[in-house]
């Protein structure tokens, strides 16, 4: 657990951290939203932004542009520590079992667990291939690009199915008191791993990576095509 906490602060010493949130970390949610979905959606938001960094990095790599290896290495570290070893572990240990013991969506849950495991393997591969001694080799960069693209390909439908199927099923299957209990367990586990401002530090970290690639400014994503 101490390694996870140290990771979230390590980016500052490498010039990667740029404060983007005020103290307090997690955005406020309405009382009725204080259920497992609140923590799950926060994790998905961090992952979505990490995937944007991945996509931009691999796009430039495929075009033969110079992309520093830390873009991939630190994005993979963030995904592993904040998403896979915290967010996804909470899903596997606290949320999925609630559906499994009620024999609901068992095939989907089984596949989601398999995707978690496969994603962790891809993340480990990205971290390995983005080490400086590996990254200098063209064949390693090509394998890294393949692994990144595969991770993005799997993650988007995975997130969407959890948000639109798993979360509604939990709300339907569980009493409000049980949802509140699970929400509190999720919150305590995240604080135990990262501290009470872990979410804020994760957002700061991914924002620094976005700045490094020049994709932080939201204006560049505003539609430019207009109806005649």
CA nearest to 67, candidates 16, 125, 150, 135: 135
Per-residue pLDDT tens digits for 82-131: 899 988 999 999 999 999 999 999 999 999 999 999 999 999 999 999 99
Which of 26-30, 113-117, 145-149 has the weakest average pLDDT? 26-30
Q: 22 pLDDT exceeds 90?
A: no
Question: Average pLDDT, whole number, for the chain?
Answer: 84
Taking the model in full, what pTM does it have?
0.81
Which of 41-45, 46-50, 68-72, 146-150 has the weakest average pLDDT? 41-45
Spans of all domains in the chain = 2-10+35-216
Q: Is the C-alpha dihedral spanning 14, 20, 22, 25 positive or negative? A: negative
Predicted local confidence at residue 193, as pLDDT? 76
Q: 65 pLDDT exceeds 80?
A: yes
Query: Is the CATH code 2.60.210.10 the one for domain 2-10+35-216?
Result: no
Residue 155 and residue 216: Cα distance in Å, rounded?
Answer: 21
Question: With bands split at pLDDT 50, 70 and 90, how would you rate the model's confidence at 181?
Answer: confident
From the CB of residue 32, how many other CB atoms can be counted at a distance below 10 Å?
7
Predicted local confidence at residue 58, as pLDDT? 97
Predicted local confidence at residue 41, as pLDDT? 53
Task: Give the tokens for residue 91.
Answer: 């899903």
């Amino acid at each position: 657990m101490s390694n996870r906490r140290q990771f979230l602060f390590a980016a500052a010493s490498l010039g990667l951290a740029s404060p983007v949130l005020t103290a307090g970390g997690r955005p406020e949610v309405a009382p009725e939203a204080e259920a497992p979905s609140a923590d799950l959606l926060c994790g998905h938001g961090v992952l979505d932004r990490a995937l944007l960094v991945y996509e931009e990095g691999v796009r430039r790599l495929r075009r033969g542009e110079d992309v520093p290896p830390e873009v991939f290495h630190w994005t993979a570290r963030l995904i592993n520590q904040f998403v896979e070893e915290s967010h996804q572990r909470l899903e596997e240990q606290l949320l999925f079992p609630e559906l499994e013991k009620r024999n609901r969506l068992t095939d989907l849950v089984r596949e989601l667990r398999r995707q978690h495991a496969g994603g962790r393997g891809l993340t480990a591969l990205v971290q390995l291939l983005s080490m400086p001694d590996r990254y200098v080799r063209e064949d390693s960069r090509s394998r890294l690009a393949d692994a990144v693209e595969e991770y993005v390909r799997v993650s988007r439908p995975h997130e969407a199915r959890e948000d639109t199927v798993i979360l509604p099923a939990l709300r339907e299957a569980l009493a409000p008191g049980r949802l509140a209990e699970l929400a509190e367990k999720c919150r305590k586990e995240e604080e135990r791993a990262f501290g009470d401002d872990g979410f804020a530090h994760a957002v700061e970290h991914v924002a620094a990576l976005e700045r490094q690639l020049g994709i932080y400014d939201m204006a560049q994503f505003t539609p430019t095509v207009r109806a005649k």
